[in-house]
Amino acid sequence: MSIKFNLIAAACENMGIGKNNDLPWRLKSEMAYFTKMTSTTTDSRKKNVVIMGRKTWDSIPPKFKPLSDRINFVLSKSQLDLNQYKDVYGFTSWKEIQDRLNDNKFKDVYEIVWVVGGSRIYKEAMESKYFYRLYLTEIKKEFDCDTFFPKLGANLKQISDPDVPEEVQKEKGIEFQYKVYENNEYKEE
């Protein structure tokens, strides 16, 4: 089975995703959707992998660290000391991540690979041959942001996923919609 990267992100109208190394909004139901999508497996013996950049890792409040019931991969140019955490691994390059995901022993323990940000991680994942789908929550409001989702390419086609509600959601007066895009250049190896 070849590697597939599923990206998951929430972006507002100006494609902002973050401000001061935090989320610009607090949407509990959107966060619950993120947790459900990234945690659910069909095989209960397996967990999903979540790949994130070091700044996104730093942005997670200590009580939510690591993202539970998921295998956390953190990318940094530095060797991070993550020994205190269970199911958390540091990587210094995408090549190291690719090697781990292709490792025969590790293949037995994970199911879906979710790329969970931030900006540079999304960009690099979308440029990779493993980029399969983008699960994008489109927040129908503009927020002040300093971090942005990369431009969507023409290779992306909107699709339906039975696990994703299509109707517009609303919380605290803010409307948002879960969208799914597939990379039509993705090829199974």
Ligand X SMILES: NC(=O)c1ccc[n+]([C@@H]2O[C@H](COP(=O)([O-])OP(=O)(O)OC[C@H]3O[C@@H](n4cnc5c(N)ncnc54)[C@H](OP(=O)(O)O)[C@@H]3O)[C@@H](O)[C@H]2O)c1
Give the residue numbers annotated as catalytic, written as ranges.
23, 30
Cis amide bond preceding 61, omega within 30: no
Decide whether 100 or 120 has the Cβ nearer to ligand X. 120
> Looking at 43-51, 110-118, 158-166, 173-181, which segment touches ligand X (CB under 6 A)?
110-118
Sites for ligand X among residues 11-70 (CB under 6 A): 17-18, 21-23, 52-56, 59
The amino acid at residue 62 is P
Sites for ligand X among residues 83-102 (CB under 6 A): 92-94
134 binds ligand X (CB under 6 A): no
Indicate the residue whose CB is closest to ligand X: 118
In whole angstroms, the minimum distance from the beta carbon of 117 to ligand X comes to 3
